[in-house]
Structure 1
Amino acid sequence: MLSKENIAEYFQTLQKTICQAIENTDGKGKFREDLWQHHSGGGGRTRVLTDGNIIAKGGVNFSAVSGEASEALQKQLNLTEKADYFATGVSIVQHPVNPMVPIIHMNVRYFELSNGICWFGGGIDLTPHYVVEEDARWFHQQLKAACDKHSAEYYPKYKEWADNYFFIPHRNETRGVGGIFFDYLKPKDETPKEDLFAFVQSVGESFAPVYTHLMVKNNQLPYGAHEINWQMLRRGRYVEFNLVWDRGTKFGLETNGRTESILMSLPPVANWVYDFQPEAGSEEEKTLSLLKKGVDWV
C-alpha cells in the first residue's frame, strides 16, 4: 500500500535528480543545501544555486511537514473540526542569466489529513521574458505527452486550469505561456491513489529533460542592456504574482513555514518602471500580446 512515507521518499529522490541535471547543464553553479525543521513537525531540504553560467538564482526545495491544521488552514480546506495534516512535495523556480532563457516553475505535492482525506496537486509552467512560439509549442507538447500517458482528458483540463491560475488579474495578463496546473486530485474507485501518484511522477520527471533542453538551446543567444532591462521588468511581474496571488506562498506563510524557503522563488534582482509602454512592433510588444488565456499551443 502506498504510504505518505513512500511518497515523501520519492520526492526526495526527485529533488536530487533534478539538482544534478541542472548543475550538469549549468556547468558552474552548485546548489547550497540547508536542512531545516518545522516548528510543528517534520522539515525540509532547501537547495539554492546562485551565480551560475546559465542560472542566476534557482531553488529546488523538498519538504515534509506535519502538525495540527491552523484556523486559517481549516477555513481554506473547509474543515468543520480540527485535524492533523501531513504535506510533502518538491517546489522549483529557476531564474536564468540570459533573458532568452525562460523562467520555469514546477511544484508536485501530496497532502493528507488525519481524517483520512488525501490528495495530490502540482503543476509546471513556463515564463519566458521573450515568448518564442516554437519553444512554447514544444514545451506544451512535452506536457501533453506526460499527461496523455495517464488520460487524454488531463492535458486540456489542466492546461485551462493553468491559464486561469497563472494569471495576474491586476495586470490582466498571464504570468507566461502557461503549462498545466492541478489540485485536490483525490483517490476514487476509478482512479486509485497509485494511479494519481504515477501521474504526478510523470509530471515531476518531465522537468529536468524539458528545462535543460531550453537552457542549452537558448543560453548562447545574444542579448544586451535593452533585453536585460526588459528581463528586470518581467521578473517584477513574477514577483507580483508570487507575493499577491500564489496559493503556495500563502499556505507556507500561514503555516509558519520557513520564510527563506518560501521566498526562494523570488529573483535576485527585479525592477518596476512607472507606466512602461513597449515600442510599437517590438519583440516586447509581441510578447505582451501572447500573455493571455486560451492560446492553443498544441
Structure 2
Amino acid sequence: MTSPSTKPMRQQAEEYISKLQEDIVTALEKLDPNAPPFKRDSWLRPQGGRGLSAVFAVPHSSTSQAAAAMQNTVLEKAGVNISIVHGVLPPAAVKQMRADHGSMQNIEGSLPFFAAGISLVIHPRNPHAPTVHANYRYFETTEPIAEGQGAESAQGKVLAWWFGGGADLTPAYLYEEDAAHFHRTLKEAADPHGAAVYPTFKKWCDEYFFIKHRGEARGIGGMFFDDVCDEPHKRFPGEADAQRPRTQEAIFAMIRALGDAFVPSYIPILERRMRTLTNEHEKRWQQLRRGRYVEFNLVYDRGTLFGMLTPGARIESVLISMPETARWEYMSDLGGDGENSEEGKIVQVLRTPKEWV
C-alpha cells in the first residue's frame, strides 16, 4: 500500500492532473498517428493561476488543399484541458458554499480559494464512435485574508475542501457492448473504494445529464459526483456513508483510480468504431444528437454556465466542449419510431436509463 504523501493536497492534485492530461493526449495521438498533433496552449489567469489546453482541430476543408486532405481524421474536435487557479471568493459565493460544508458555517466575507482540475471532451468524426466527456477537480478554501495581506501570500489553514468529477458517454448509435464496457471499467475502478460509490455516482450521473425540455438524457451516463469530502454527504445516507471513502487521501485515491480508468474505458470503444462504414443518413443523425449536446451544455451544465459568468474566464476553454458542427430540424422524422430503427433504439434508452453492469 502506498503511504500517504507529505505534500499538500493542492500540489498532489496539480501534479496528478498534469500527468493524466499527458497520458490521455498521448493515447489519442497514438490512435491516429497521421493526424495533426494536439495543439498545446498554455495560458495565465490575470487574477491568479495558469492552465494548459491541449486541443485537436483541423482547418476547414475550404481553407486549403492540405486542409481538405485532413477531413478523414479519427477525431473531429477534442480538448483535454487542465487549470490550476487561485484567488478570492466573493461573499455571495462563500454564502452559497456554506450550505454544503459545515466547516464554513461561521465564516462571513471573502475567502481565498484554490482549484485544480482536468476537463475533457472528445468528438470523433464517425457517427458510430461516441462522444465522451470527463472531468476531475479539487477545490479548497483557506482561512480569511488578514487586512493588508494579498491573495498570493494567503495560504493559511484549509477551512474546507472537496473533490468532484465523473465521466459519461454520448453515442449517436447504441452498441450495448460499448455501454457495458464503459460502465464496467468505471465500476471496477470505483469498487475498491466502497460498495456505494458506483451505484450512487451512476444514479447521480443519470439525473444530472438530463435534458428536461426534451425529456431525455444527453447520453448513456457513467459517473458524476460533487462536493465529496470528509463531511456527511446527502447522496450517501445511512449505511451508505460507511461504504465510500471519507478521508482526503482515500478520496484522492479514488479520483486517481477513476482518472486512470479513462483511457481503458474509452479508447477500446473508439478503436472499434472509428472506421465503421457510414453514410449521409447516419451523419445527419449524429448532427441532430450533437444539437442535443449543445442544448444541455448551454442550458443546464453548471461548469459551462459558471465559466461564462465568471469575470476573467477563458471563454475559448469554457466552450471547448461544443461540437464543431451540429444540426436542428423542425419536427425531425428521425428517432421517433421506437425500436423500429437504429435511431429509435438509442432514443428509447435515453428516455429510460438502463443498468449496464
TM-score, scaled to structure 1: 0.95
Q: Which residue of 2 aligns with 1:67?
A: 87
- Quickly say closer, same or farther: Cα 1:138–1:15, change in 2 above 3 A: same
**TM superposition shift of 1:70:** 3.4
The structure with the larger Rg is 2
Does 2:270 align with 1:235? no
Q: Which residue of 2 aligns with 1:252?
A: 307
Does 2:201 align with 1:146? no
Q: Which residue of 2 aligns with 1:55?
A: 75
Matches for 1:74-93 after TM superposition, within 5 Å: 74-78=94-98, 80-93=108-121
Q: Which stretch shifts more, 143-152 or 248-257?
A: 248-257
Q: Which stretch shifts more, 89-98 or 24-33?
A: 24-33
Q: Which residue of 2 aligns with 1:287?
A: 346
Q: Which residue of 2 aligns with 1:274?
A: 330
- Quickly say closer, same or farther: Cα 1:50–1:137, change in 2 above 3 A: same
Q: 1:163-186 deviations in whole A, cap 9, x for unaligned? A: 001111111100000000011011
5+ long unaligned stretches in structure 1: none
Q: Does the aligned pair in 1 maintain the 2:90–2:111 contact within 8 Å?
A: no
**TM superposition shift of 1:2:** 4.4
Matches for 1:1-298 after TM superposition, within 5 Å: 1-3=6-8, 4-27=10-33, 28-51=35-58, 53-70=73-90, 73-78=93-98, 80-115=108-143, 116-187=159-230, 191-256=246-311, 257-278=313-334, 280=337, 281-298=340-357
Opposite residue 53 of structure 1, the aligned amino acid is T
Which structure ranks higher in relative contact order (CA pairs < 8 Å, sequence separation ≥ 6)? 1
**TM superposition shift of 1:6:** 1.8
Structure 2 counterpart SS, 1:149? helix
TM-score, scaled to structure 2: 0.80
Opposite residue 53 of structure 2, the aligned amino acid is T
Instruction: Figure out how many residues of one structure are paired with residues of the other and give that number.
Output: 298
Structure 2 counterpart SS, 1:121? strand
- Quickly say closer, same or farther: Cα 1:2–1:169, change in 2 above 3 A: farther
Structure 1 counterpart SS, 2:262? helix
Structure 1 counterpart SS, 2:351? coil
- Quickly say closer, same or farther: Cα 1:76–1:23, change in 2 above 3 A: farther
Q: Does the aligned pair in 2 maintain the 1:2–1:194 contact within 8 Å?
A: no
Task: Say what the alpha-carbon RMSD is for the aligned residues.
Answer: 1.7
**TM superposition shift of 1:192:** 1.2
Determine the C-alpha separation between the residues in 2 that align with 1:110 and 1:120: 5
Structure 1 counterpart SS, 2:225? strand
Q: Does the aligned pair in 2 maintain the 1:73–1:254 contact within 8 Å?
A: no
Q: Which stretch shifts more, 286-295 or 82-91?
A: 286-295
Determine the C-alpha separation between the residues in 2 that align with 1:53 and 1:144: 31
- Quickly say closer, same or farther: Cα 1:84–1:96, change in 2 above 3 A: same
